[in-house]
């Protein structure tokens, strides 16, 4: 093995997009967006219907040509996809059926053949939790099980980067939880995952970073946990006063304005830790308990709804 063989081919950046534009005639579906996805991260892409989601993801997947801007996916321009590049990219598309007459194993084994170094078929079937359905025809599976076959086909080539386009739409809560575990498993294997979803809690749960698209532009992006703060949203500390403490004392210690509704206190703070420390210290001095204490971080779903108001969900 030569020295340069050990230099990783994968740059630290899995996807890099700058100034991406796409027009259909007069209509501009994507109007200059920029983002980067680091190798090994789960990137959540949250878009209301018809706001350029399909256009963007299909440009990245090598299905559509762009009108402008620069795009590199695993260091390659997806406008001219090569076989070697396809070997490293797995797709889980929306609205693509498989032949209902194939069995699960037949379908996955067929797709495995297309790749240079596929993952073992039996192992892939187990990974998506379809072990007991391996010989069932695809036409007999439930919607959730079919979606798992889609995922199995997307990962059977052992790709470095996986596009998951709404992997859990139409799932019941149990199936969604299982799908989440599977996606976390992919991340644990070191895969980069580009995830689009209709569910903000899904993005919040799975994604390291999130971008929100509206009207063909990115209106917010950042680390999942910090997106709210970066948009000026604050953490809320709330508790109920029960006589041992006066609201003026709370105001004196808090760093932010204190709202009082009935005997419920809420503080919208940029420094939650400092304020909690002060308030808990106060409670400890008095030997009292802060009743119904809660600390609420900014909710991504609220932010999303606010940012995309007036567009489809």
Partner 1 sequence: MKDRGIVLAQARMAILVALRTPRAILFTVAFPLILLVLFNSIFIKSGDNGTTLPNDVRISAQAYFTAGIVAYAVALSTFTTLAVSLTTQRENGQLKRYRGTPMPPWTFIAAQITRATAQALLMTAVLLGVGALAYGVPIPTSTFPAFVLYVVLGTATCCSLGIALTAFTTTPDSASTIAPFTVVILAFFSGIWIPVDQLPQWLETVGKIFPLYHLALGLQTTLSPSAKGSGLDLQNVLVLALWAIAGARIASKRFHWEPQAARA
Q: Which residues bind partner 1 (CB under 8 A)?
A: 61-63, 83-84, 86-87, 89, 91, 93, 95-99, 101-102, 106, 109-111, 113-116, 153, 157
In whole angstroms, the minimum distance from the beta carbon of 114 to partner 1 comes to 4
| Residues whose CB is less than 8 angstroms from the CB of residue 287 and which lie 6 or more positions away in sequence, other chains included | none
Provide, rounded to whole angstroms, the least separation between the CB of residue 305 and partner 1: 29
C-beta of 66: minimal distance to partner 1 in Å? 17
61 or 268: whose CB is closer to partner 1? 61
How does DSSP classify residue 208? S
User: Residue 34 CB, nearest distance to partner 1 (Å)?
Assistant: 25
How far apart are the C-alpha atoms of 32 and 18, rounded to whole Å?
A: 7
Within 8 A by CB and 6+ apart from 25, the residues are: none
Cβ atoms within 10 Å, residue 286: 11
Tell me the Ramachandran region of residue 38: left when phi exceeds 0, alpha when psi lies from -120 to 50, beta otherwise.
beta
Residue 36: strand pairing partners: 16
Alpha carbon distance 81, 93 (integer Å): 17
Nearer Cβ to partner 1, position 45 or 111? 111
For partner 1, the closer of residues 26 and 248 by Cβ is: 26
Nearest-angstrom CA–CA distance, 244 and 152: 59
Q: Rounded CA gap, 224 and 205, in Å?
A: 9
Which is closer to partner 1, CB of 139 or CB of 185?
Answer: 139
Whole-number Å distance between alpha carbons of 25 and 20 = 16
Contact yes or no for 26/190 (Cβ under 8 A): no
CA-wise closest residue to 92 among 19, 32, 12, 182: 182
Q: What is the smallest separation between the CB atom of 169 and partner 1, expressed in angstroms?
A: 15
CB of 81 to partner 1, least distance (A): 9
Distance from C-alpha of 276 to C-alpha of 239, rounded to nearest angstrom: 11
Residue 161 beta carbon to partner 1: minimum distance, rounded to whole angstroms = 12
Looking at beta carbons only, is 31 or 94 nearer to partner 1? 94
Closest to partner 1 by CB, 62 vs 298, is: 62
Q: What are the tokens at 151?
A: 């995922």
Q: Which is nearer to partner 1, 55 or 221 (CB)?
A: 55
């Amino acid at each position: 093995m030569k020295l340069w063989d050990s230099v990783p081919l994968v740059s630290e950046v899995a996807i890099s997009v700058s100034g991406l534009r796409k027009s259909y005639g007069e209509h501009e579906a994507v109007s200059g967006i920029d983002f980067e996805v680091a190798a090994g991260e789960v990137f959540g892409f949250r878009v209301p219907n018809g706001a350029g989601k399909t256009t963007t993801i299909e440009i990245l997947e090598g299905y559509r040509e762009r009108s402008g801007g620069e795009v590199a996916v695993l260091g390659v321009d997806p406008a001219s996809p090569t076989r070697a590049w396809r070997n490293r990219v797995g797709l889980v598309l929306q609205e693509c059926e498989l032949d209902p007459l194939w069995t699960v194993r037949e379908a996955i084994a067929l797709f495995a053949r297309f790749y240079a170094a596929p993952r073992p078929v039996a192992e892939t079937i187990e990974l998506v939790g379809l072990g007991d359905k391996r010989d069932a025809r695809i036409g007999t599976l439930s919607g959730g099980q079919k979606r798992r076959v889609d995922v199995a086909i997307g990962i059977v080539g052992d790709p470095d980067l996986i596009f998951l386009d709404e992997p859990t739409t139409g799932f019941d809560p149990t199936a969604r939880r299982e799908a989440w575990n599977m996606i976390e498993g992919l991340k644990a294997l070191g895969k980069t995952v580009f995830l689009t979803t209709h569910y903000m809690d899904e993005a919040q749960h799975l994604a390291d970073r999130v971008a929100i698209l509206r009207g063909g532009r990115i209106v917010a992006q950042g680390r999942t946990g910090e997106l709210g703060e970066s948009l000026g949203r604050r953490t809320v500390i709330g508790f109920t006063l029960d006589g041992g403490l006066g609201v003026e004392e709370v105001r004196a210690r808090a760093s932010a304005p204190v709202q009082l509704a009935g005997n419920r206190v809420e503080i919208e703070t940029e420094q939650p830790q400092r304020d909690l420390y002060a308030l808990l210290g106060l409670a400890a001095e008095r030997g009292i308990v802060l009743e119904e204490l809660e600390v609420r971080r900014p909710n991504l779903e609220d932010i999303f709804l606010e940012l995309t108001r007036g567009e489809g969900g």
